[in-house]
Amino acid sequence: MVVHKYGGWAMQNSVSREEVCHRIIDAVKEGKKVVAVISAMGRAGDPYATDTLLQLTEWEEDSKEVHLVKSCGEFIASAVLTALLKTHDIACELMYGLDAGIYGSDGDIQVDLSAIEKRLTQVDAIIVPGFQYLTEAGHFQTLGRGGSDFSALLYAQHLGCQAIFFKDVPGVYYPASSQTLVSSLTHAQLAECDVIQKRAAHYAALHHIPIEIRSYTLNSEGTVIRSPLPEIQ
């Protein structure tokens, strides 16, 4: 079992989406089940990017409408990737909402992956939109900028597996201002770098979640994150 996380740049054109497919296909050929957490396509200015959708009108802060429109890009990207994987004859399933297993209860984030675990006995890959969860009232809520990173770590923690963050760089450069690509880092060092969402980096440290950060276009091992940081609260 492995969790993959793909950012918006990995989904923004047909060439990069094919690369994403091949990363998932490679994992399936290795005998792994994959849960792929997907961000919205592209960046501001691209048609389905979240920031582009938010420019359509003015939104009431923290309203149902603004959280729903923020979620749309991830839905679209996840549906496109699922359809594309099926053209490669990969047995996969798009799961979202309550079936995706992340929801709000009494103001806290809860995780129940029983539906995903059951479906993984029948398919090789589950595709889920990142960045969002379902509230008790049945409305979509979002996890803040970079929230798909946090989604991926929730899945990895509760599935008891590694999270691989596929990016447009071959790994992590450390110190952040240097050009030194490192093969391993501690969670504390990762938190110093602007590589994944800070909240996600701290959460991984607290819960001892193994991470690898690597390129989605190269078959390199990237940077492995080890040594949790339990003192972060």
Question: Along the 233 residues of the chain, how does pLDDT read in single tens digits?
Answer: 999 999 988 998 999 999 999 999 999 999 999 999 999 998 888 888 899 999 999 999 999 999 999 999 999 999 999 999 999 999 999 999 999 999 998 779 999 999 999 999 999 999 999 999 999 888 999 999 899 999 999 999 999 999 999 998 899 999 878 889 999 999 989 988 889 999 999 999 999 899 999 998 877 789 999 865 444 43
| Residue 179 is assigned to a structural domain of this protein | yes
Q: How many C-beta atoms surround the C-beta of residue 178 within 10 A? A: 9
Beta strands in the chain (DSSP E): 2-6, 34-38, 92-94, 102-105, 108-111, 125-129, 132-134, 140-142, 162-167, 172-173, 181-182, 184-186, 211-215, 223-226
| Residue 205 is assigned to a structural domain of this protein | yes
Q: pLDDT at position 43, please? A: 82
Q: Which residues of 53-71 are buried (b: 16+ CB within 10 A; e: fewer)?
A: beeeeeeeeeeeebbbbbb
| Residue 168 is assigned to a structural domain of this protein | yes
Q: Check if the beta carbon of residue 230 is closer than 8 Å to that of residue 223.
A: no
| Residue 188 is assigned to a structural domain of this protein | yes
CATH number for 173: 3.40.1160.10
| Residue 189 is assigned to a structural domain of this protein | yes
Q: Check if the beta carbon of residue 109 is closer than 8 Å to that of residue 132.
A: no
Could you give the CA distance from residue 63 to residue 222 in angstroms, rounded to a whole number?
39
| Residue 128 is assigned to a structural domain of this protein | yes
Range of the domain at 45: 2-226
Q: pLDDT at position 233, please? A: 37
* CB within 8 Å of 15: residues ≥ 6 apart: none
| Residue 152 is assigned to a structural domain of this protein | yes
Quick one: how far is CA 79 from the chain centroid?
Answer: 15
| Residue 129 is assigned to a structural domain of this protein | yes
User: How many structural domains is the chain composed of?
Assistant: 1
Q: pLDDT at position 46, please? A: 87
